Amino acid sequence: MFENILVPLDGSKLSEAALEAAAVLAGGLGSSVTLLHVVEEDPPAEVHKERHLRNADEANAYLRDAAPRAFSASTAVKTHVHESPVENVARSIVAHATAEFQPDLIVASTHGRGGMRDLLFGSIAQQIVAQGTTPLLLVKPNSPAFRIGKILLPLDPDSVHDESLPSGEALALAFKAELHLVSIIPTYATLTGEQAAASSLMPATTQAVLDLDDERASGHLKEHVESLTRLGITSAFTVARGDPATAILKTADEAKVDLIILSTHRKAGLGAFWSRSVAPKIAQRTRIPLLLIPLQ
C-alpha cells in the first residue's frame, strides 16, 4: 500500500508540515516520493510572511533542497515543477495526480487561503476526494511530531465504510500500531432531517431502534477486533452516541490517537459530499492528522 506518495508544496514552512509525515510513511512502508510544485499565475511576493516561489527556477531549486532535508538517502525522491503558470492550482494538482504520477497517497498540509496557499482543506481536497480514487493525508502545521502509534478508525455500523479497514490494518502492521475502532450511533436529540421528523411521531420506537443499533454495532466491532487479534494487531473498540464529528473527536482525544482514518463518500455529487461529510468538520476542529479514504 502507498507505494508512491505525492507531496504538493508551495515553498512555505507551513506547507512543509507534510514533509515529516511523508518521510515517516516512506520510511515505514518503503515508498517512493514525488515532490510537486505548480507555478501560479501572478503569484504573490510573500506567502505567510515568507518569500513565495514565483517561477520555475526558484521552485526547482527549492524542491532539490527540500528532498535531502526531509528524506533519508534510502528513500527514492523525485521532484517535479509544473512550469506553465496556471490559475487553478487545485485542478493542476489533481490532473498531475490522476494522469501523470498516479500516486497511492497524497500528503499535504492544511493552511492559508488562495491558490497553492489554500493547501488544503478547500478546493484541492474537495477535488481530490470527489474523484474517489486517491487517499489523502492532511496534516496541520505546528502539530506534534508525526508518528503512528495508535490509529482511530471510525466504521459504519452497517459495514458501509469498512473499505477503510484494510488501510488501517496495513498501517498498524507496518508501524506496530494499535488500532482503535469506533462506531457512532445517534442519540434521540442528535437525529436530523427525516429521521428527526419521524422520531417526533414515534419517540419510543425510535429510541428502541437506536438501542438496537448500539447492540448491533458492538457485535460488528467485536468481530473486527477478533479478526485483528488473529493478525497480531492490538485493537480495541468503542460505540459512542451523539453527533458523529463530535463523538469521533471525543473518542480520538480520550484514546490519544496519532491518526484518524475516515472513509468518504460522494453521494449526489461534489456539493452534496462536502455539505454532508463529517470530514471537514473534524479537520477544522482537530490537529490530529486525518487520512481520507475515498469509497469506490
- Structure confidence by residue, pLDDT tens digits, 153-181: 998 776 545 778 999 999 999 999 999 99
Check residue 71 and give its pLDDT. 97
Count of Cβ atoms closer than 10 Å to residue 99 Cβ: 8
Pair 124, 205 in one domain? no
Pair 83, 189 in one domain? no
Domain that holds residue 54: 4-139
Q: pTM of the prediction?
A: 0.86
User: All 3 cell numbers of residue 264?
Assistant: 468518504
Pair 204, 250 in one domain? yes
**Of residues 200 and 244, more confidently modeled:** 244
**Of residues 28 and 51, more confidently modeled:** 28
Count CA atoms within 13 Å of residue 63 on its CB side: 24
Check residue 158 and give its pLDDT. 63
Percent of the chain with pLDDT over 70: 76
User: All 3 cell numbers of residue 178?
Assistant: 494499535
CB 36 within 8 A of CB 93: yes
pLDDT by residue (tens digit) across 206-224? 566 666 777 888 888 999 9
Place of cell 492559508: 112
Question: What is the average pLDDT across 242-251?
Answer: 91
Which of 115, 139, 163 marks a domain boundary?
139
Pair 117, 175 in one domain? no
Count of Cβ atoms closer than 10 Å to residue 131 Cβ: 13
Apex 285 CA angle, 280 and 289, nearest 5: 75
CATH code of the domain containing 181? 3.40.50.620
Check residue 213 and give its pLDDT. 75
Beta strands in 156-289 (DSSP E): 178-185, 235-241, 259-264
The amino acid that residue 230 corresponds to is R
pLDDT by residue (tens digit) across 122-153? 456 666 666 657 889 989 888 889 999 999 99
pLDDT bracket for residue 99 (50, 70, 90) = confident
Check residue 94 and give its pLDDT. 80
What value does the mean pLDDT of the chain take? 81
**In terms of DSSP bridges, do strands 235-241 and 46-47 run parallel, antiparallel, or are they unpaired?**
unpaired
Pair 25, 132 in one domain? yes
Comparing CA positions, the residue from 258, 3, 289 lying closest to residue 148 is 258
Pair 154, 255 in one domain? yes
**Residue 144 belongs to a domain:** no
CA 90 – CA 124 distance, rounded (Å): 4
Count of Cβ atoms closer than 10 Å to residue 191 Cβ: 16
Check residue 141 and give its pLDDT. 83
CA 112 – CA 101 distance, rounded (Å): 25
Pair 253, 122 in one domain? no
Q: Is residue 122 exposed (0-12), middle (13-18) or buried (19+ Cβ within 10 Å)?
A: middle
- Number of compact structural domains in the chain: 2
